[in-house]
Structure 1
Amino acid sequence: MVLCLEQIMKEWKQKGRIFIKGEFVDCASLIQALSKRRLPHLAQELLVEMKSEGLAPNNSTLCALMLCYAENEFFSQSEGVWDEMLNSSWVPSIQIVSELMDAYAKMGHFDKVKRIMDQVISRNFDFVPDLYSVAISCFGKLGKLELMENTLKEMVARGFPVDSATGNTFIRYYSIFGSLTEMETSYGRLKRSRHLIEEEGIRAMSIAYIRERKFYRLSEFLRDVGLERRNVGNLLWNLLLLSFAVNFKMKTLQREFIRMLDAGFGPDLTTFNIRALAFSRMNLFWDLHLSLEHMKHESVVSDLVTYGCLVDAYLDRRLAKNLNFALNKMNVDDSPLVSTDPLVFEAMGKGDFHLSSEAVMEFNRQKKWTYRQLIAIYLKKQYRRKQIFWNY
């Protein structure tokens, strides 16, 4: 094992990745590499080797060693390095503290996370307000909502204000791990603090409503946020249209689309594809073609979803022979891409052509595909499927 360590050190010295300045040595990158390879014992031997040569690790090396221990469950060694550094004149950065807390939290050692917080707070470092935000995120991403709430209460009790980022963080984690009621309570708290919900929070809440199939509550939430907001682009309007399209409320869908245009919002690809999916599944060919003409007029380029709406609609009505009539107006020799907002698929799923095409492209990633080729393969598959059916 010593020989292995010597070989590694020799190799890294040759690469110029170990730096010696006076009596201090910097080999943080080497320790980080050992951590990723799950070799904390070698990192420990490295420290002993350095000290035997009369060298002392610098602060960046000690930080890397501490994180290496924590990430590989050498907790007593990690705490020893932390205490040693903290009792010196060293001032930790919020980044190091954040990584250390995350490492402990992932292993379920929330008591150690709290210990780090108490030590940092007792020393009154400048980044204490940021520390609370880091802790809230640390607990939230693991679904520890009660710990997250307790941290917020402590933060407020100490006189630190809750900023927009922290409020939106609460919404995001309640939307993932909490109930819809808890999520809505968190949103109400953000509103009372007079902070705006940001795009990430809007998306998180919308996904929660979509997964619970609560589309009326989704539309009410979007109206409450304010459809006139322009700093999130078309997101709010697109989600509102989606809430009606998923239940095929076609009149309301069209009415809200006109309201969107009247409000000065230009439809994007996601807007058009939400409508196209609804038209396709309702076999509303006239509306589908008008939507495609509107896209062309707005210079919005179709993606795989748009083509899928056409192909699925025509094949559903057994009009494959007439498909070329629609495709002649499109750029079928373009390379396939999907630029539609993934939230659309959460609500409406993917069409048969879309799913089939993704499977074909995944099977042969080296080939440069076109829409024309994918359509030809799909039509052939459908034809063969019918032939097999009739043979039985």
Structure 2
Amino acid sequence: METLLPLTFTLRIKTLHPVTSHPHLLPQRRGSAYKSLPMKRLLHGKNSGGIDHGDANVDCPFNSSICSKGLVHVTEELLLEITSKGFLPDVSTLSGLMLCYANKGLFSQAKAIWDEMFNSSFQPGVPMISELINACATSGRFDLVVTILHQVRIKNHVILPEIYARTISCFGKKGELELMDIMLREMIKMGLSVDSVTGNAFIIYYSIFGSVAQMEVAYAQLKSSRILIEEEAIKAVSSAYIRERKFYSLGKFLQVVGLGRRNVGNLLWNLLLLSYAANFKMKSLQREFVRMVEGGFHPDLTTFNIRALAFAKMSLFWDLHLSIEHMQHEAVVPDLVTYGCIVDAYMDRRLGRNLEFALSRLNTDTSVTMFTDRIVFDVMGKGDFHSSSEAFLEFKSKRHWTYNQLIDIYRKKKFRSNQVFWNY
């Protein structure tokens, strides 16, 4: 059952002042936790320091472990004992207790402490307010989040932009897009500037929780505000298009963002190539790859593997080998996906005898690596060799696998499956 702290305790908060710098007034520490025994000795031992009870502030023996163990009542008792002896708990102690209440879902107690602290001369800081807002949003108390925000708006206008940004992020993480939109509109109406981090977070949350149409409207708003869309937001928007298999729209979006941007590396070009590879538009894929190279961009591992996956699935052996040669020319080290493209292309066509020749240009005795961007698999999937190899790589008994070992195991597996098929 929830019990509010006595009014005599909450009223003491109005008289809080900064904690005095007297080390003998603070409880002793062992490690990172305060101990209650030294505090009790301090409260009852009047002969050890000549303490002025009317002016002393005491840091309560409170920490997060007490809260996690559900022992909030222990802290309440200690705080009541402190006030009964004429001591004043400091602001950090009360803030910690308030956040503990909020994290435990005891919002009436947390709100009581917040109101008293807010109505006093105490100026709440951004970290403390952010933690309180996060705790309320985690439990779905969005009404309290809005109330706290509006109270801050009345008292402290300086930190308001940062608190609005934290609130927007809080609502976005919970998928409350309507509330997030309202907060953004309030922010703009008040004349507060929306920074790049908040604007990009706005796009990311619409990409995750909203429809493609809503996401496109949000991006149009971001673009009209002249805020540049950054890497994480580009990935989020692209993932939304990929989930809906809208590769043409993805290509259009990338063209609007601008393929000439260099601050995001090859991300835009790789996504554009992926949009063509998804529908096996090989001529467009090759044309855009040439444009990429002519534009001064150097293809990376993901770039080459997007092309290799498309060539392997289309059984374009000559193009696949030329792509491997180009990769070696650019000094790009192949990974499991690259080897998998070659193995699958030959094994699917029952050309296993030619596999050694196909792999002759690659070093199959090196350790297995995997550095391809995972968004590629959302579009192209994983090859059979890649999927089966990942199962072996998870074995803890053997940490260092080589491509030769995985290829030998895979060939034996395919041989046995063929034997079973023909015997049946």
When normalised by structure 1's length, the TM-score is 0.90
Q: Residues 235-314 of structure 1 correspond to what in structure 2 (within 5 A)?
A: 235-314=267-346
1:370 has 2:386 as partner: no
The match for 1:122 is: 154
| Unaligned ranges ≥5, structure 2 | 1-27, 43-55
Instruction: Report SS of the residue matched to 1:252.
Output: helix
Cα deviations by residue, 1:321-375 (Å, 9 ceiling, x for unpaired): 2111122322222222211111111111111111111122224365222222222
Equivalent in 167, 170, 177 of residue 135 of structure 1: 167
* Alpha-carbon spacing, 1:77–1:256, altered in 2? closer, same or farther (3 Å): same
Q: Check whether the contact 1:34–1:43 (CA below 8 A) recurs between aligned residues.
A: yes
1:68 has 2:138 as partner: no
The match for 2:390 is: 358
Instruction: Report SS of the residue matched to 1:300.
Output: coil
Deviation at 1:145, TM superposition (A): 1.0
The match for 1:6 is: none
Deviation at 1:64, TM superposition (A): 2.7
Q: Check whether the contact 1:308–1:354 (CA below 8 A) recurs between aligned residues.
A: yes
Equivalent in 17, 22, 44 of residue 73 of structure 2: 44
Deviates more, 1:87-96 or 1:206-215: 87-96
Q: Check whether the contact 1:26–1:60 (CA below 8 A) recurs between aligned residues.
A: no
The match for 1:195 is: 227
| Unaligned ranges ≥5, structure 1 | 1-11
Q: Check whether the contact 1:18–1:25 (CA below 8 A) recurs between aligned residues.
A: no
The match for 1:15 is: 31
Distance 1:146 1:25 in 2: 42
Q: Residues 313-332 of structure 1 correspond to what in structure 2 (within 5 A)?
A: 313-332=345-364
* Alpha-carbon spacing, 1:165–1:317, altered in 2? closer, same or farther (3 Å): same
Deviation at 1:61, TM superposition (A): 3.2
The match for 2:14 is: none
Matched letter for residue 240 of structure 2 = A
Equivalent in 176, 180, 204 of residue 236 of structure 2: 204
The match for 2:59 is: 25
Deviates more, 1:76-85 or 1:300-309: 76-85
Instruction: Report SS of the residue matched to 2:59.
Output: strand
Distance 1:73 1:366 in 2: 46
Deviation at 1:261, TM superposition (A): 0.4
Matched letter for residue 326 of structure 1 = A
Q: Check whether the contact 2:60–2:79 (CA below 8 A) recurs between aligned residues.
A: no
The match for 1:93 is: 125
Q: Check whether the contact 1:47–1:57 (CA below 8 A) recurs between aligned residues.
A: no
Instruction: Report SS of the residue matched to 1:333.
Output: coil
Distance 1:65 1:326 in 2: 67
* Alpha-carbon spacing, 1:74–1:276, altered in 2? closer, same or farther (3 Å): same
Cα deviations by residue, 1:37-80 (Å, 9 ceiling, x for unpaired): 4x23x133134235426565433333332222212212122222
Instruction: Report SS of the residue matched to 2:371.
Output: coil
Matched letter for residue 116 of structure 1 = I
The match for 2:51 is: none
Distance 1:84 1:226 in 2: 52
Q: Check whether the contact 2:204–2:232 (CA below 8 A) recurs between aligned residues.
A: yes
1:232 has 2:256 as partner: no
The number of residues matched between the two structures is 376
1:82 has 2:98 as partner: no
The match for 2:207 is: 175
Matched letter for residue 388 of structure 2 = S
Q: Check whether the contact 2:172–2:205 (CA below 8 A) recurs between aligned residues.
A: yes
Deviation at 1:228, TM superposition (A): 0.5
The match for 1:106 is: 138
Matched letter for residue 120 of structure 1 = V
Distance 1:56 1:388 in 2: 81
Deviation at 1:127, TM superposition (A): 1.0
Deviates more, 1:173-182 or 1:84-93: 84-93
**Between the two proteins, what is the percent identity of the paired residues?**
56
Look at both structures and tell me which one has the larger radius of gyration over its CA atoms: 2
Distance 1:63 1:122 in 2: 20
* Alpha-carbon spacing, 1:245–1:124, altered in 2? closer, same or farther (3 Å): same
Deviates more, 1:151-160 or 1:74-83: 74-83
* Alpha-carbon spacing, 1:378–1:67, altered in 2? closer, same or farther (3 Å): farther
Distance 1:26 1:373 in 2: 62
Matched letter for residue 399 of structure 2 = K
Distance 1:56 1:346 in 2: 58
Question: Per residue, is there more helix in 1 or in 2?
Answer: 1
Matched letter for residue 18 of structure 1 = Y
Distance 2:88 2:385 in 1: 63
Matched letter for residue 207 of structure 2 = S
When normalised by structure 2's length, the TM-score is 0.84
Moved over 6 A (4+): 19-22
